[in-house]
Amino acid sequence: MGRAPVFVDVCPENLTVDAEQVRALVQQENVKAVVAVHISGALAQLDVLQNICRSAGAFLIEDCAQATGGRYAGRRVGSWGDLGVFSLGGIKL
């Protein structure tokens, strides 16, 4: 595929991906996908990330392994991105 991951920092408030850093990155780089990891029930800013990805023509992938059953702005996690990934490991539920 010829692609390499590029990392951004997390928001100190909830430890999810910093949407403003993603916004800055997609303006500078040829970003094809963004992975939003929901951590310990804290949810990424999905509405903002969805808009950033749509504007950039990039895919939004949600890692929902630690947010099973969660909702953001009334919608279930995993339904905001182009792909939602879940895991049923013991510490994930």
Domain ranges of the chain: 19-85
What does pLDDT average to over the chain? Answer: 93
What string of DSSP letters covers 7-73? --PBPTTTSSB-HHHHHHHHHHS---EEEEE-BTTBPP-HHHHHHHHHHHT-EEEEE-TT-TT-EET
Is the pTM of the predicted complex or chain greater than 0.85?
Answer: yes
Q: Could you read off the pLDDT of 1-22 as tens digits, one per residue?
A: 677 888 999 999 999 999 999 9
3-state secondary structure of 82: coil
Q: Could you read off the pLDDT of 18-37 as tens digits, one per residue?
A: 999 999 999 988 899 999 99
